[in-house]
A and B are shown apart, each in its own frame.
Chain A
Amino acid sequence: LESKLIAITSASRGVLSRKNVEEIEKTINEYYERWKA
């Protein structure tokens, strides 16, 4: 999860865009589902 999040943030310069935040949220949701299981 850490490397996925850092890959998203390091691919964008400056402040994260709405799209980046959505991508992070999607990743968090995916890992949360796995974490629950």
Chain B
Amino acid sequence: MSLKVELENVGGLMHTRNFSLERGVNRIRAPNAEGKTSFTKALELLVLSGEELRGKGYYGNLFVGSEEAVGVRLSGDINHERRFGRIGQENLKEIGTSSLVGSNGDRIINVCFAVPGNRLIGDFLARRGVKNYIDLLAGAENYEKAQTALQEIDHIVTTKIQHYRDLLIRLEEYEKQKKEDEKELEKLRGKFAKKPLLDEKEIFEDFGRYNKRKQELDHLNEDIASIRGKLQELEEAIESAKDNIKRYESQIQVIKTQHPRIDARLNEIANEIPIKRSDFSKSEEAYKKFKERQEMKVAIDQKEANIKRAEERIEEFKKQTLGVEDLEGKYDFIQFVKNHLEIRKNQIVEEIRGTFNRQVIELYKRLGFRDFDNIEIGPDFRISVTRKKGGKIIENFPLEALSTSERITIAIAFLLSAKNEYVQDFPFFVLDELITSYDPKRFDIVKDHLKRSEDYVVITELATDISDVEVIHES
């Protein structure tokens, strides 16, 4: 059975172009800039979701034709179609179609496409370890994103708990204050009960009466002062008016007759003053006692109001802090989930490391290579090999020290291991000419293996003897 691949408006392959792939190796041959990359990118589009395409402008740039829609259609052995519309100049969106397999297109591409952009190949060429690639396969980023989101939620919950705790502290303060107020109130009530009950009306009338007397006394004192002043003036006038004595004799006579009467009145008033003063101080004393009692009553009322207000606040705070225990439980639950995600992420990463440690050396040998007896990822995710050199076995030989073609060969063994384990249902394995060109002899060995192990192997090749794309099958 063969597989028909129809591309519509894909990059360098304008309009509708049909290709036929056979099981085994399919060499996509073309001169430079004639559509080899467009072909492999079109296969990538079979699995990328709209979400994964977002922001990846280079897919948009592939479709430079004037058409608004592009498509990739498989028929024959597999029947599937994907269509895309443009978003602006650079981005694409899916139009009513779905991924060929699964949902993690980015992972599939990084497993089944041995192209320069492949993350594992990129890391191996840069002599980096395999940690990033294992994280990609494990979906570690998704665990980390979930942990970050939980951290945010955690922060919100912690802030709420802190707020509730502050309320609880204030609640405690109010309760303490209330107790103190209650004690004081009890004391005040005891004292108040001992105070004799006074007749308020009588006290006020009495106080009013005596207050009036006090005013009268004050007026009398003023009168006396005024009369004394006048006497003083008159005496001075007598002294100074010697020349007029005769003229004023009759007046002097009148004044002299008045003088004893005024003196008598003054004496009377002087006698009244101590009596009135004594009456007034009695009244003042009674009023003072009455005022004390009144003030005590006001203090009691005040305390009672304070206690009532405290009770209302306590009640309100109790309502507000009702959820605090639940929030503390939720906080514990979030910690539990966060820890669980961390454990699970590490578990998945370790499982993948274990799988690679078991499978990569086997695949490497199955590919037909015998340079290494073991290929191992250490706990630090650095790769080392066991190799024979001059009859000696060298263990823990670092990947970084191997040649580029040796590293690329090991990378392909990693990709095939990952494909066997995680992307079994994607029917293509793509090899770019840049990858195969490092060591054509080694590549021929790899190709022989791929013919047997993979459904559709697509290998791009630069051809200078033709002017258009051609597909050569090698079964």
Q: Chain A interface (Cβ within 8 Å of chain B)?
A: 1-2, 5-6, 8-16, 20-21, 24-25, 28-29, 31-32, 35-36
Contact = CB atoms under 8 A, between A and B. Distances in A.
Given A28-B337, A36-B329, A9 B54 contact: no
B335 to A, nearest CB: 12
Sorted nearest first, the 8 A-B pairs with minimum C-beta distance are: A9-B145, A9-B142, A5-B146, A24-B149, A10-B142, A32-B333, A21-B149, A9-B146
Contact of B54 (A13, A32, A36): A13
Contacts of A29: 330
A25 B54 CA distance: 25
Interface size class of B (residues with CB under 8 A): 20 to 34
A25 B148 CA distance: 12
Contacts, number: 59
A36 B329 CA distance: 8
Contact of A24 (B139, B153, B344): B153
A6 B149 CA distance: 11
Interface string B140-155: 0111011011101100
Interface of B: 51-52, 54-55, 103-104, 139, 141-143, 145-146, 148-150, 152-153, 329-330, 333-334, 337, 340-341, 344
Main secondary structure of the interface of B (DSSP, over half): helix
A5 B104 contact: no
A21 B344 CA distance: 20
Given A5-B337, A21-B152, A28-B333, 16 more contacts: A1-B337, A6-B146, A9-B142, A9-B145, A9-B146, A10-B104, A12-B145, A13-B52, A13-B54, A16-B148, A20-B149, A24-B150, A25-B149, A28-B150, A28-B153, A31-B333
Nearest to A11: B51
A5 B330 CA distance: 16
